[in-house]
Amino acid sequence: MKKNAKTQKGKATRMRNSKRLAKIRSQIPYWVMLLIPLAFFLLVRYWPMYGLAIAFQDYKIGDPFISSESRWAGFKWFQTLFRNPNFPRLVRNTLAINILSILISFPISIAFALLLNEIRFKKLRNLTANISLLPYFISTVVIVAIIYSVFSVDDGLVNMVIQKLGGKKINFLAESKWFRPLYIGSGIWQNTGFNAVVFTAAISGIDPNLYEAAALDGSTRLKNIFHITIPCILPTIIIMLLLRIGNIMTVGYEKIILMYTPSTYEVADVLSTYAYRAGLENQKYSLSAAISLINSVVNVVLLVSANKATKKLSGSSLW
């Protein structure tokens, strides 16, 4: 009896092992597919963190990052940044551009996804979604060129219309009060379609039976949006908002550098453009690295804090 029990137990163990091996073999193609994104994150996202050591050094081109020959400077470059009289302005402009972008563009992306969902003709809905995605694939240089051609004071389309209506030309590109509207507005035009993709996918996952039950109760399409659609995609909205908050100290320098002029520095100069000038123009690579490190640390702190707050308030969070 004991021998038979051991034999049966051994057979059961071998069967479990064979099933496990079969499952692993069936998953090999998926693990191979993961190698490319894994290599990307290791080489592009994590390996460069090794270079953050230069934020604590007097680094010059050709010096090793970490060795006995490294010239360590401690927190010298952080102190240099904090003592810079322009530092409060840089932080203020960075926060202003990102917060305004979140307050304006984020709700527009949600509203656009909701409106797409209300288009009953599938071909028209797909055509609208595809057209809205096109600006996302236009390069930043071309986007700025379009801004210049539309808002130029000499032959820009907007100024031509203003002049035809009897008004005076406005130098949109040189007046500081117009920089943020142009920057944020062009960003909305470029990114709304792409940002709405996630919300559209979340909406498509809502159970149709909820809408059918609401129709039986006499609910209108407008009421369905506020009582079914938005509550069902609220976790997705919270997650996307948290990701935006996690980048609140990061503004891409490419578009700003192409757009700003000396007359708009007061509202356009941000931490990333200052880091660009410090690193590539003035060869202060350690200062540039210190700015990037501060940005990353602040972003992580804000992300963790916002994640904890939303988890307590709504139960939805990134982790």
**Residues 290-304: tens digit of each pLDDT:** 998 898 888 889 888
pTM beyond cutoff 0.85: no
Do residues 94 and 175 share a domain?
A: yes
pLDDT at 178: 92
pLDDT band at 58 (very low <50, low <70, confident <90, very high): confident
pLDDT at 111: 94
Residue 113 has pLDDT above 60, yes or no: yes
- 298 CB neighbour count, 10 Å cutoff: 16
Domain-located, residue 71: no
Domain-located, residue 224: yes
User: Which of the listed residues 10, 25, 56 is the one where a domain comes to its end?
Assistant: 56
pLDDT at 90: 92
Say if residues 253 and 272 touch (Cβ distance below 8 Å): yes
Do residues 102 and 245 share a domain?
A: yes
Do residues 37 and 80 share a domain?
A: no
Beta bridge partners of 72: 57
- 70 CB neighbour count, 10 Å cutoff: 16
The whole-chain average pLDDT of the chain stands at 87
Say if residues 192 and 108 touch (Cβ distance below 8 Å): yes
In 3-state terms, what secondary structure has residue 57? strand
Q: Where are the beta strands (DSSP E) in the chain?
A: none
Do residues 81 and 163 share a domain?
A: yes
How distant, in Å, are the alpha carbons of 150, 206, 270, 306 from that of 318? 40, 20, 28, 10
pLDDT at 104: 93
Q: What average pLDDT does range 23-40 have in this prediction? A: 87
Domain-located, residue 210: yes
- 232 CB neighbour count, 10 Å cutoff: 15
Say if residues 288 and 279 touch (Cβ distance below 8 Å): yes
Do residues 245 and 185 share a domain?
A: yes
Say if residues 298 and 95 touch (Cβ distance below 8 Å): no
Q: Which residues contact 308 (CB under 8 A, 6 or more apart)?
A: 317
Domain-located, residue 65: no
pLDDT at 120: 86
Do residues 49 and 143 share a domain?
A: no
Helix (H) or strand (E) holding 273: helix 271-276
Domain-located, residue 66: no
Do residues 167 and 42 share a domain?
A: no
pLDDT at 31: 86
Lowest mean pLDDT among 5-9, 162-166, 313-317: 5-9
Lowest mean pLDDT among 6-15, 21-30, 276-285, 306-315: 6-15
Residue 2 has pLDDT above 80, yes or no: no
Do residues 151 and 299 share a domain?
A: yes
pLDDT at 167: 86
Residue 3 has pLDDT above 70, yes or no: no
pLDDT at 187: 92
pLDDT at 93: 92
Residue 315 has pLDDT above 90, yes or no: no
Q: How many residues does the chain have?
A: 319
Do residues 26 and 121 share a domain?
A: no
Do residues 26 and 87 share a domain?
A: no
pLDDT band at 106 (very low <50, low <70, confident <90, very high): very high
Q: What average pLDDT does range 260-270 have in this prediction? A: 87
pLDDT at 29: 86
CATH assignment of the domain containing 207: 1.10.3720.10
How much of the chain, in percent, has pLDDT values that exceed 70?
Answer: 96
How distant, in Å, are the alpha carbons of 66, 138, 274, 284 from that of 278? 22, 28, 6, 5
pLDDT at 246: 86
- 7 CB neighbour count, 10 Å cutoff: 10
- DSSP code at position 44: I
Domain-located, residue 70: no
Highest mean pLDDT among 14-23, 132-141, 252-261: 132-141
Do residues 103 and 48 share a domain?
A: no
pLDDT at 253: 83
Domain-located, residue 68: no
Beta bridge partners of 57: 72
Q: How far apart are CA 165 and CA 29, in angstroms?
A: 64
pLDDT at 17: 75
Q: Which residue's structure tokens are 């069902």?
A: 232
pLDDT at 5: 56
Domain tally, the chain: 2
Do residues 118 and 146 share a domain?
A: yes
pLDDT at 64: 76
Structure tokens, 159:
């100024």
Residue at 42: amino acid letter: L
Quote the domain boundaries for residue 28.
2-56
Domain-located, residue 144: yes
pLDDT in tens, 154-187: 888 898 999 888 888 888 988 889 999 999 999 9
- 51 CB neighbour count, 10 Å cutoff: 14
- 148 CB neighbour count, 10 Å cutoff: 15
How distant, in Å, are the alpha carbons of 81, 107, 187, 311 from that of 237? 35, 10, 19, 13
